[in-house]
Amino acid sequence: MTIDSMLDILNRKLVQIQDDPLSPTEILVLQGIWQDKTYEEIAKEERYSSGYVTNVVAPQLYQKLGQVFGRRITKKNCRAVLESQVAAQVALEAKPPRQNPSEFYPDVNEDTSPHYPDGSVPLNSPFYIERSTIEASVYTEIQKPGALVRIKAPREMGKTSLLLRALDYANHLGYYTVSLNLEQIDLTFLSDVNQFLRWLCASVSHKLQIEPKLDDYWNKDLGNKQSCTFYFRNYLLKQIDAPLVLALDEVNQIFEHPEVAKNFLPLLRSWYEEAKRQPIWQKLRLIVVHSTEIYVPLQLQQSPFNVGLPIQLTDFSLEQVCQLAQRYGLKWTDGSEAKQLMAMIGGHPGLVHTALYHLGREEITLAQLLETAHTSTGIYAHHLQRHWVTLQEQPKLASALHTVISATEPVKLEPIIAYKLSSMGLIKLDNNKATPSRQLYQWYFENQRWENQE
């Protein structure tokens, strides 16, 4: 890699994180370091005082580089860090662009033939609305040694769609990626800490196509957490020659199993902290995705939910809803239609996609959609019935929501009940007081039979 190409990449990265590009004097110092010159040699050649280069320019340069790469930069490690980190960016930019599916299937036009919006939005889909600031933050963070990213939002808000793109970006960087959805784990593994941690180690091994050797590292005298840690540190991380991005989706599934949660979550925190001391752990980059706050009691220094980069997905804005409407072929020019839709469902990404899909296919008018949205014949019938079934299975949740729906002012709920209803997206909390999150839910649940609720 030439010094010029390296400087170009560095300046682009600095602009991405909203920092100033390298100054002319910083460039001169960096060029001198690249040539293994001392500060005295650099200062003499460029006619600066040695103290100015040593005490002013060099510290400013290392501070900027540290912000770019997320680690402490010194004269001693500067060149090695630059070569290893910037090489990944070169590989990313050199990779040929993805081919458009229409080149393989010319009769298929994604813009005019959208799939029914169910689940995550596929890569390359024109119906994915970028949250550019959020994506950039996640992409930058996972390049940092030992990073931890926490993505939180209710269901159907775009968590998995964002996760797909983060993993795709990591793949382009040449990183290893493993994604585990905890909704898919057998309940038997969630009832026992030992079984859960062995499942984790075995699953990551299989995804990396590394032969599982759990029994070689599992030691009952050391305990389950130590055995799991040794397996990752001394076996998995030593087998790979690039960073590993481990994504854990729907982590809230283990919140219902306190013994597993109280052991596993502090373990994640300990790996994050170990990366500050042991280089081997810097290979591991964690992405934790969950839909509610943790309500399992943990000591502050043990929780992985108060460290790392927090990402909380929110509703689409009016501008984003209008942008998505255009992609579905709707001629919404002044935003009035989008405002009418958002008065009913807000900017909830999943509900917005569903509405625009049906409107774009001209299966229903906006007036008809709004009139029937909360009924059993409306487009949200399945979505609403799924929530109603969940509430029927958990009477305490149903009773609490009934109280919120019936109240004329915000209601204070028990913390765990509030967290669960918030994770379902049914309420919004303000100063720990709950109100219905959407007009859609207000109208639907007002018409349900609550007689048997406690």
Tokens of residue 433, six digits: 């007081």
Q: Could you tell me the pLDDT band of residue 2, with boundaries at 50, 70 and 90?
A: low
Mean pLDDT score, 260-266:
91
DSSP secondary structure letter of residue 303: -
Q: So where are the chain's domains? A: 3-94, 132-312, 318-372, 382-446
Q: What is the DSSP string of 14-83?
A: HHHTT-PPPPHHHHHHHHHHHTT--HHHHHHHHT--HHHIIIIIHHHHHHHHHHHHTS---TTTHHHHHH
Reduced 3-state DSSP string for 279-344:
HHHHHEEEEEEECCCCCCCCCHHHCHHHCCEEEECCCCCHHHHHHHHHHCCCCCCCCHHHHHHHHH
d(CA 129, CA 364): 23
Q: In whole numbers, what is the pLDDT of the chain averaged over residues? A: 85
pLDDT over threshold 80, residue 60: yes
Nearest by Cα to 29 from 64, 5, 1? 64
Q: How far is CA 441 from CA 108, 322, 367, 407, in A?
A: 37, 23, 18, 14
Sign of the C-alpha dihedral computed for residues 74, 80, 84 and 90 taken in this order = positive
d(CA 309, CA 337): 36
Helix (H) or strand (E) holding 177: strand 176-181
Give 23 or 412, the one with higher predicted confidence: 412
How much is the pLDDT for 301?
Answer: 57
β-sheet bridge partners, residue 311: 151
How much is the pLDDT for 90?
Answer: 52
Each residue's pLDDT tens digit, 110-157? 444 677 887 888 888 889 998 878 999 999 999 999 999 999 888 889
pLDDT over threshold 80, residue 240: yes
Each residue's pLDDT tens digit, 19-49? 677 888 888 888 888 888 888 888 888 888 8
Q: What is the pTM of this model?
A: 0.70
Question: In the CATH hierarchy, which fold is given to the domain comprising 132-312?
Answer: Rossmann fold (3.40.50)
The SS3 assignment for 287 reads strand
Tokens of residue 438, six digits: 């959407």
Q: Could you tell me the pLDDT band of residue 109, with boundaries at 50, 70 and 90?
A: very low
How much is the pLDDT for 409?
Answer: 94
Q: Return the residue matching tokens 């680690």.
A: 71
Give 122 or 204, the one with higher predicted confidence: 204
CATH number of 382-446: 1.10.10
